C-alpha cells in the first residue's frame, strides 16, 4: 500500500474503497472482501446509511483497528458546532469504533459563518481524539479561504470531485501550498470515462494498452502520480481487485500530462456553490 503523510503526521493509505450508494445490505460483504484483498482505507459518510455494516466488516476482518483508515463525513443537513460533535458520536456508536481516522464536513454551507462554527466542533472532535484527522469536502477555494480565517486547526484534507473531465489543478495547487491533502471522488465520472465514443476513452485506452492495464487502473494511477488520494467505489469483487492493481501501475509524466489535457471543467456531481440540500444558515 502507498501512504501519504497528512500535515499532522499521520499516514493515510492513498487508495481506498468508496461506499456511496452501497446499501447497508451490500456494505458488509463489499468492505470485508476489500479488506481481505489488502485495502486498508474505507470511505463512508453519515448520509450513505451504511456505517453500521462498514463497522461490522472492519471488526469481523480481524485486522487490527490501527491498521485500517476509516473516513466518515458530517451530514450536510446537520452542520453546526454541537451537531459536528454529537453526530460523530452517533457514527462511532453505529460503527462500533472509538475513533475515526478522518472526519470531514461533507458539504459547505453558503454561510461561511455556519462553516466556521461547524469547524469549531470538528476541532473539538480532534482534540477529544474522536478523530485522528479532520478535514472538509466539496470546499472550493473561496470556502477554504473563509474557513482558514478562523480555524485554530487547519484542515488536513479536502475531498473533491476530481476525474479526467475535471482535473482540479488550481484547487490542488492551492491545497498543496497549504499542505492540505487532496482526495478525489467520482473518478469514473459515473461511467462516462468508459464510453468508447466519449472524449476521454480513446486517450485513456491507448495509455492502458501500453501498460497492459485497464482504463480504471490508468485513472487511479493518474491520481496517485499527482499525489492525490483515490477512493473508487465498486460492489463487484473483480473490480475491487482490479482497482487495487492500480498500485502497481506507474505512469510517465507525459502520460499524466496527456490525461490532464482531457480536462473540460465537467462536473458530474452538484456544484458546491449550488447545493440546496445543505443547511443554509
Ligand atoms: N464527498 C462527496 O461529496 C462525495 C461524492 C461522491 C462520492 N464520494 C466518495 O467517492 C467514492 C467514489 O465515487 P463514486 O461512488 O461517485 O463513483 P466512482 O468510483 O467514480 O464510480 C463508481 C462506479 O464505477 C463502477 N466501477 C468501479 N470500478 C470499476 C472498474 N474497475 N471498471 C468499470 N467500472 C467500475 C462501479 O460499478 P459497481 O459498483 O457496480 O462495480 C460504479 O458504478 C464514493 O463511493 C464515495 O465514497 C464522495
pLDDT > 90? residue 128: yes
pLDDT in tens, 212-235: 999 999 999 999 999 999 999 999
CB under 8 Å to 173, separation ≥6 — which residues?
A: none
pLDDT in tens, 92-118: 999 999 999 999 999 999 999 999 999
Query: In testing the pocket of ligand 1, which one of 13, 15, 16, 20 has its CB within 8 Å of the most ligand atoms?
Result: 20
The overall average pLDDT reported for the chain is 98
So what's the pLDDT on residue 132? Answer: 98
Q: What domains does the chain contain, in order, with CATH numbers? A: 3-188+227-244 (3.20.20.100)
CB 223 less than 6 A from any atom of ligand 1? no
pLDDT in tens, 151-170: 999 999 999 999 999 999 99
pLDDT in tens, 51-67: 999 999 999 999 999 99
pLDDT > 90? residue 276: no
Provide the sign of the torsion angle of the four alpha carbons 193, 195, 197, 201, taken in this order. positive
- Pick from 99, 108, 104: which is nearest to 127 by CA? 99
User: Do residues 144 and 119 lie in contact, with contact meaning Cβ atoms separated by under 8 Å?
Assistant: no
Q: Is 29 helix (H, G, I), strand (E, B) or coil?
A: helix
Task: Output the DSSP codes for 164-181.
Answer: TTB--HHHHHHHHHTT-E
CB 18 less than 6 A from any atom of ligand 1? yes
Residues labelled catalytic: 48
**Cα–Cα distance for residue pair 259/6, rounded to 1 Å:** 26
So what's the pLDDT on residue 45? Answer: 98
Q: Which atom of ligand 1 is nearest to the CA of 160?
A: 1
CB 185 less than 6 A from any atom of ligand 1? yes
CB 155 less than 6 A from any atom of ligand 1? no
So what's the pLDDT on residue 247? Answer: 98
Amino acid at each position: 500500500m502507498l501512504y501519504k503523510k497528512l500535515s499532522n503526521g499521520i499516514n493515510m493509505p492513498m487508495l481506498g474503497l468508496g461506499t456511496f450508494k452501497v446499501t447497508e445490505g451490500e456494505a458488509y460483504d463489499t468492505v470485508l472482501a476489500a479488506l481481505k484483498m489488502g485495502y486498508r482505507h474505507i470511505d463512508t459518510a453519515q448520509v450513505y446509511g451504511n456505517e453500521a455494516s462498514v463497522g461490522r466488516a472492519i471488526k469481523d476482518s480481524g485486522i487490527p483497528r490501527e491498521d485500517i483508515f476509516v473516513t466518515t463525513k458530517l451530514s450536510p443537513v446537520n452542520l453546526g458546532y454541537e451537531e459536528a460533535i454529537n453526530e460523530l458520536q452517533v457514527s462511532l456508536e453505529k460503527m462500533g469504533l472509538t475513533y475515526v481516522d478522518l472526519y470531514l464536513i461533507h458539504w459547505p454551507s453558503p454561510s461561511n459563518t455556519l462553516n466556521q462554527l461547524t469547524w469549531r466542533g470538528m476541532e473539538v472532535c480532534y482534540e477529544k481524539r474522536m478523530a485522528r484527522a479532520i478535514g472538509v469536502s466539496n470546499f472550493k477555494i473561496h470556502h477554504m479561504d473563509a474557513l482558514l480565517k478562523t480555524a485554530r486547526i487547519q484542515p488536513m484534507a479536502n475531498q473533491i470531485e476530481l476525474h479526467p473531465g475535471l482535473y482540479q489543478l488550481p484547487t490542488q495547487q492551492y491545497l498543496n501550498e497549504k499542505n492540505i491533502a487532496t482526495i478525489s471522488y467520482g473518478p469514473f465520472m459515473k461511467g462516462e470515462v468508459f464510453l468508447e465514443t466519449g472524449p476521454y476513452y480513446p486517450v485513456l485506452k491507448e495509455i492502458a494498452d501500453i501498460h497492459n492495464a485497464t482504463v480504471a487502473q490508468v485513472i487511479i494511477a493518474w491520481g496517485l502520480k499527482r499525489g492525490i488520494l483515490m477512493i473508487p467505489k465498486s460492489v463487484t469483487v473483480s473490480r475491487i481487485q482490479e482497482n487495487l492493481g492500480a498500485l502497481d501501475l506507474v505512469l510517465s509524466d507525459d502520460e499524466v500530462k496527456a490525461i490532464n489535457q482531457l480536462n473540460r471543467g465537467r462536473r458530474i456531481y452538484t456544484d458546491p456553490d449550488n447545493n440546496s440540500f445543505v443547511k443554509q444558515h
